[in-house]
Amino acid sequence: MIDLRVISVLLSHWRKHPFQLAMLLTGLFLASGLWTGVEAINTEARASYALAEAALAPPRFASIVSARTRTIPVETYTRLQTSGWRTSPIFEKRVRLRDRYIRVIGVDVLTYPAQDVFQDVTSQESVQGFLTRLIGKTGTLFADAPTAAFLTRNGVAGEILTSNSLPPKTVLGDFSALARLLPGSEADISGSGFSRLIVLENQPRDQVPLREFADVILAEPEDQAGTAELTDSFHLNLTAFGFLSFLVGLFVVYGIIALSFEQRRIVFRTLRLLGVSRRQLIASLSIELLVLATIGGILGVIGGYFLAALLLPDVAATLESLYRANVSGSLTFRWQWLVSGIAITLLGTALASASGFVETARSSILEEGGAYASRTRLFRLSRLQAILALALLATFAVLVVFGQGLVAGFAALACLLIGFALALPSLLNWIIAGVSTFARGPLAEWFLADARFVLPGLSVALMALLMAASANIGVSTMVGSFRTTFIDWLDKRLAAEVYLSTRSTDEAIAINEWLKPRVDAVLPIMNERVRLSGEPGDMYGVADHATYRRDWPLKASTEDAWDRVFAGDGVLINEQLSLRYDLAVGDTLSIEGNHALEIVGIYPDYGNPAVEAMIGIDLFDSWYPDTPRRRFVVRVDPGRSDEIIRGLQEAFGLPDANIANQTEVKQLSQRIFERTFVVTAALNVLTLGVAVFALLTSLVILATYRLPQLAPLWAMGMTRVQMAWFELLRALVLALLTGLIAIPVGLLLGWVLLAVINVEAFGWRLPFQTDPRDWVLLIAYSVLAALLAAAYPTLRLAQVSPSTLLKQASDAH
């Protein structure tokens, strides 16, 4: 079936057209590169989550967690042990060291079930010797290689061994070692207790049932929502962008493959005439494309690796700021994304070449591949395209109205983008036809008629440009809305000048006394872990002060909301809780402990994945009398906040991590915000770049066919430079029209991102805000893209030799 002689004839096409080959490989490279880059980032991040979860709670093991607070007191642990519960305690805390947050995990090495962490090092020595060293005087900590180096560099004494089974930015050790090596940790364990207790295997039968312990509950392995689940939406977002880039790249591939099939129709026919069977021809074409796609795919995977390595530090920063997830900033080569990159390239190539294969398989051996046949096919194709576009846009409407969940949201986005892209050639055709009726003069009439004539050849590239430009407007709208809302919200939410976290209740009392005569107000921040509408969340207690009454942003509220909150007669809830349980102002919120309060307001809470509620401090104290007051916000003249911070540090030795001034927090938040969108912006620009490349490809290819059409005009007295200007102008006009169509499509896309995707992914809805300056910029980009893409073919046309034109003019039929 496979005949190398036939394949060599097919390959001769690419030898003769090296530019086409380069374009095809570049298209494949871009498509698979962007996809692989995104996949590599996702895989790396997920691998980090898996390591983190394995270290904290091995997958097979259930855990005992606190029913109300975030920690289990040491006394509870001891009671459980004496009641027959065999558990291994875990302590987890984020500690700030220099400019970095490190996750500290304390374990009891003798009972800790995730022994993989130690596996890398125990093979070197006896288990006995190792354990002695681990809990002995010197103390040993474990971390991944970069974290170990960072800790050593920053003066953490003692032995730090590297373990490949630990996630990045994490240090693990026995409680005794942690207490010695990381001062402050011990106080946390004795003061507040353990984060969780891992329930070990082979529990005794006569243990006291857990329900007799009021303050703890059992969390089965499947109940423990991990970072992977929390960050799903973020990764889905990245995947969607990767897919969009892939799709745009695929348009380039489709354009080149379609052209190569069209140009080789005579070759296919000749081969068939010379005795090559239809099946053999299809098989040989498949092998040819398989080889080219594999080469392009491998190149793409290599490119994707570098892209991912470039973007990963920003993604890691985003994930840390949004989800507190520790992701390695450096990339490890993984087979999964190599295979996935090549597989999706092959799949994409198969899709891009499907119509060519069908056409080749169907074509009769005696069929003339002339211009008429080609135009009939194009007409059929454009009609099919328009029908498909309508079907996709109808699906979009159905998904937006009736769809539920993030996947439905992204499917709606895909339908919207692809639907409009497919409708674009028909739209442009109608617009130009409409304008043509007003055209006066032979040149204007020719120009418009010619623009319609070349439209099929450029439509794929213009479709790619429309997709990239719409995505650009949509994402700019989302980011712009986000930025405006976020900064305003941040100003109101971070109204206080200084934020404090004390290390013990005694210290809290002393600091309060010290502060009172020096500042305007000291307001406690108190929270308790409770179930709100049945879901674990945080209940905050706030004091009656202008900080809340005047500054706290509310999306909806009753007129007397704050009066009722401070009177203990109403509750404020965050938007996540409102959207998740369809709660509105006036509804009643059920709160764990058989409490219920009327909702008097809903506040925006951007960046928080959890549900939250807020009540007056008096009611809070009566419901949760044991909650310690250890965190505070301080209101003071902004000019004096540095002085107060210095004073606190001198008087109480409060570390940097426990004190923050508003300016720093705002700057940090804004930095995190900007960094969060670095990846999106980068992918946005790359997608637009691929679209420019698609346009360049199409224009260069088109230029090779233009001479027979332009030569008669030259013969009729038009100069080469004039023809070149018309070619350029036509590309610019088509790009301009595409840019204009991209504006409503992009705005619709932005609306879906804000009203559907964001709500599904993060649980909050942003107000739709758009800046027309972005549109002007985008249109300018589109025209500039067309100018860049058209420059080379135009220049070539301006310099074409008269003898070539003469030959074309005399051969033109």
Partner 1 sequence: MSAPLILKHVRKSFSTQDGPIDVLEDVTFSLEAGELLAITGESGSGKSTLLHIIGALETFDAGEIRYGDLELSSLSDTERAQFRRSMVGIIFQQYNLVPSLDVLANVRLHARLADREDGDWTRYLLDRLGLETLAGRYPEQLSGGQQQRVAIARTLAAKPGLILADEPTGNLDERSSGTVFELMSGLAEEAGISLIVVTHSNELAGRISRNLHLHAGRVA
3-state SS class at 668: helix
Report the alpha-carbon distance of residue 65 to residue 196 in Å, rounded: 5
Stretch that binds partner 1, among 183-191, 213-221, 273-281, 491-499 (CB under 8 A): 273-281
| Minimal distance, residue 702 CB to partner 1, in Å | 19
CB of 33 to partner 1, least distance (A): 28
DSSP track, 165-186: TSPTTEEEEEHHHHHHHSTTHH
Question: Between residues 82 and 364, which has the closer beta carbon with respect to partner 1?
Answer: 364
Report the nearest approach of partner 1 to the CB of residue 271 (Å).
8
Tokens 């995190």 sit at which residue?
672
Number of Cα atoms under 13 Å in the Cβ half of residue 285: 26
Does 265 interact with partner 1 (rule: CB under 8 A)? no
Please tell me whether residue 17 binds partner 1 under the rule CB under 8 A. yes
Answer yes or no whether residue 9 interacts with partner 1 by CB under 8 A.
yes
In the sheet with 196-199, reading across from the earlier edge strand, the strands are 159-162, 140-143, 170-174, 100-107, 87-97, 196-199, 63-66, 216-219
Do the beta carbons of residue 45 and residue 24 sit within 8 Å?
Answer: no
Structure tokens given for 73: 């007191």
Least distance (Å) from partner 1 to the CB of residue 708?
Answer: 13
Cβ proximity to partner 1: between 103 and 265 the closer is: 265
Q: Applying CB under 8 A, does 21 fall inside the site for partner 1?
A: no
Instruction: Based on the shown chain and the rule CB under 8 A, indicate whether residue 273 belongs to the binding site for partner 1.
Output: yes
Q: Which of 70, 133, 278, 492 binds partner 1 (CB under 8 A)?
A: 278
Give me the least distance between CB of 458 and partner 1, in Å please. 24
308-327 residues near partner 1, rule: CB under 8 A: none
At position 359, the amino acid (one-letter code) is E
Q: Is 719 helix (H, G, I), strand (E, B) or coil?
A: coil
Question: Which are the contacts of 279, defined by CB distance < 8 A and separation ≥ 6?
Answer: 1
CB of 277 to partner 1, least distance (A): 4
> By C-beta, is 160 or 809 nearer to partner 1?
809
- CA angle at residue 58 from 56 to 63, to 5 degrees? 75
Q: Of 209, 275, 442, 772, which lies in the binding site for partner 1, with binding defined by CB under 8 A?
A: 275
Work out whether 266 is an interface residue with partner 1 (CB under 8 A).
Answer: yes
Site for partner 1 contains 267 (CB under 8 A): yes
Binding flag, residue 196, partner 1 (CB under 8 A): no
Structure tokens at 350: 């198969």
* Residue from 274, 371, 596, 716 binding partner 1 (CB under 8 A): 274
Q: Which is nearer to partner 1, 275 or 517 (CB)?
A: 275
Can you tell me the distance from the alpha carbon of 134 to that of 121, in angstroms, rounded to the nearest whole number? 11
Q: Which is nearer to partner 1, 176 or 363 (CB)?
A: 363
How far is the C-alpha of 662 from the C-alpha of 668, rounded, in Å? 10
Does the footprint of partner 1 cover residue 716 (CB under 8 A)? no
Contact of 175 with 63, CB cutoff 8 Å = no
For the chain, what's the residue count? 813
* Closest approach of partner 1 to the CB of residue 694, in Å: 24
Closest CB 11 distance from partner 1, rounded Å: 9
Q: Return the residue of 111, 115, 138, 277 that touches partner 1, per CB under 8 A.
A: 277
**DSSP letter at 519?**
S
Nearest to 249 by CA among 808, 702, 693: 693
Residue 12 in contact with partner 1, rule: CB under 8 A: yes
Query: Shortest distance, CB of residue 280 to partner 1, whole angstroms?
Result: 7
Q: Which is nearer to partner 1, 5 or 205 (CB)?
A: 5
Percent composition of the chain: helix, strand, coil (DSSP 3-state, to 5): 65, 15, 25
Residue 279 interacting with partner 1 (CB under 8 A): yes
Q: Interface with partner 1 includes 262 (CB under 8 A)?
A: no
Cα dihedral 675, 679, 684, 687 in deg (nearest 10): 160
| Residue among 278 and 452 whose Cβ is closer to partner 1 | 278
Considering the complex, state which of residue 721 and residue 812 has its C-beta at the smaller distance from partner 1.
Answer: 812
Least distance between partner 1 and beta carbon 268 (Å): 10
Sort strands 140-143 and 159-162 into parallel, antiparallel or unpaired: parallel
The whole-angstrom separation of Cα 297 and Cα 345 is: 6
Q: Give strand pairing partners of 571.
A: 599
Q: How far is the CB of 278 from partner 1 (least distance, A)?
A: 7
Told to check if 18 binds partner 1 by CB under 8 A, we report no
Span near partner 1 by CB under 8 A; candidates 8-16, 336-344, 349-357, 570-578: 8-16
Q: Which is nearer to partner 1, 224 or 280 (CB)?
A: 280
The CA–CA distances, whole Å, from 356 to 177, 352, 364, 372 equal: 67, 8, 14, 17
Binding status of residue 804 toward partner 1 by CB under 8 A: no
List beta partners, residue 591.
532, 595
Given the complex with partner 1, which of 15 and 205 has the nearer CB atom? 15
- Tell the smallest beta-carbon distance from residue 773 to partner 1 (Å): 50
CB of 284 vs partner 1, minimal distance in Å: 12
Considering CB under 8 A, how many residues would be counted as binding partner 1? Answer: 25
- Would you say 259 or 490 has its CB closer to partner 1? 259
The residues in 609-628 that bind partner 1, with binding defined as CB under 8 A, are none
Quick one: DSSP state of residue 496? S
Residue 15 interacts with partner 1 (CB under 8 A)? Answer: yes
Q: Is 492 an interacting residue with respect to partner 1 (CB under 8 A)?
A: no
663-692 positions binding partner 1, by CB under 8 A: none
Q: Residue 194 and residue 76: Cα distance in Å, rounded? A: 10
Residue 179 is encoded by which pair of tokens? 């207490």
Out of 280, 363, 512, 649, name the contact with partner 1 by CB under 8 A: 280
Q: Kindly state the smallest distance separating residue 253's Cβ from partner 1, in Å.
A: 20
User: Within positions 347 to 386, which residues make up the interface with partner 1, using CB under 8 A?
Assistant: 365-366
In the structure encoding, which two tokens stand for residue 110, read together?
A: 């003798």
DSSP 570-626: -EEEEHHHHHHTT--TTSEEEETTTEEEEEEEEE--TT--SEEEEEEHHHHHHH-TT
DSSP 567: T
Which conformational region is residue 607 in: left (phi greater than 0), alpha (psi within -120 to 50 degrees), or beta?
Answer: left
Alpha carbons 329 and 322: distance in angstroms, whole number: 16
Q: Is 270 in the site for partner 1 (CB under 8 A)?
A: yes
Decide if residue 443 touches partner 1 (CB under 8 A): no
Q: Considering only the stretches 15-23, 90-98, 341-349, 412-420, report the one whose residues sit in contact with partner 1 under the rule CB under 8 A.
A: 15-23
DSSP-based three-state secondary structure for 195: coil
Rg (CA), the chain: 33
Among 180, 235, 269, 503, binds partner 1 (CB under 8 A): 269
Nearer to partner 1 (CB atom), residue 266 or residue 310: 266
Smallest CA-to-CA distance from 353 within 459, 264, 467, 244 is with 264
276 counts as binding partner 1 under rule CB under 8 A: yes
Q: Which residues here bind partner 1, judged by CB under 8 A?
A: 3, 5-6, 9, 12-13, 15-17, 263, 266-267, 269-270, 272-280, 365-366
